[in-house]
Amino acid sequence: LMFSCRRWGGLVQAGGSLRLSCVVSGFTSDYYAVTWFRHAPGTEREGVSSISSTGGSTFYADSVKGRFTMSRDIAKNTVYLQMDNLKPEDTAVYYCAAKAGYYSGNLFDLRHDYWGKGTLVTVSS
């Protein structure tokens, strides 16, 4: 399995935007749900957003609802997290995680099968 995450847009000031992506290949299942987690220094890891195995539904943490948008291109095996109106409290290492099978809704508390290495997002005030 190849599971990688990328960051576009570089460092941003408060109110700016970034787009993260994960590319998955060689998966053992035709279907998998994906969740974005984040871990800020000195804090607990928290779920950010999940997208269903088919890409037909998404779920967002209250802290990012209305600002972040998750999507996936099944043909390209790519999942995106569009982050708009970023706040300093969004600063964290962001991780993309996949869970094999048919899943949708809030997946934050479920064990995920594969994890990316994470990318640092820094929002300055």
pLDDT digits (tens, 9 = 90+) for 71-117: 998 888 889 999 999 999 999 999 999 999 999 999 999 999 988 88
Residues 6+ apart with CB under 8 A from 41: none
Q: 9 vs 95, which has greater pLDDT?
A: 95
Q: Give the C-alpha separation, 29 to 33, whole Å.
A: 11
Give the residue with greater pLDDT, 16 vs 53.
Answer: 16
The torsion region of residue 117 among left (phi > 0), alpha (psi -120 to 50) and beta comes to: alpha
Q: Decide the pairing of beta strands 18-25 and 12-13.
A: unpaired
Q: What is the pLDDT of residue 60?
A: 98
* Token representation of residue 58: 């998404």
What pLDDT shows up at residue 25? 73
The β-bridge partners of 72 are 79
> How buried is 106 (Cβ within 10 angstroms: 0-12 exposed, 13-18 middle, 19+ buried)?
middle
Question: Cβ(99)–Cβ(92) under 8 Å?
Answer: no
Residue 1 in this model has a pLDDT that exceeds 90: no
22 vs 3, more confident: 22
The pLDDT assigned to 24 comes to 78
Inform me whether the pLDDT recorded for 9 exceeds 60.
no
Q: What is the pLDDT of residues 21-68, one digit of tens each?
A: 988 776 666 788 999 999 998 999 999 999 998 888 999 999 999 999
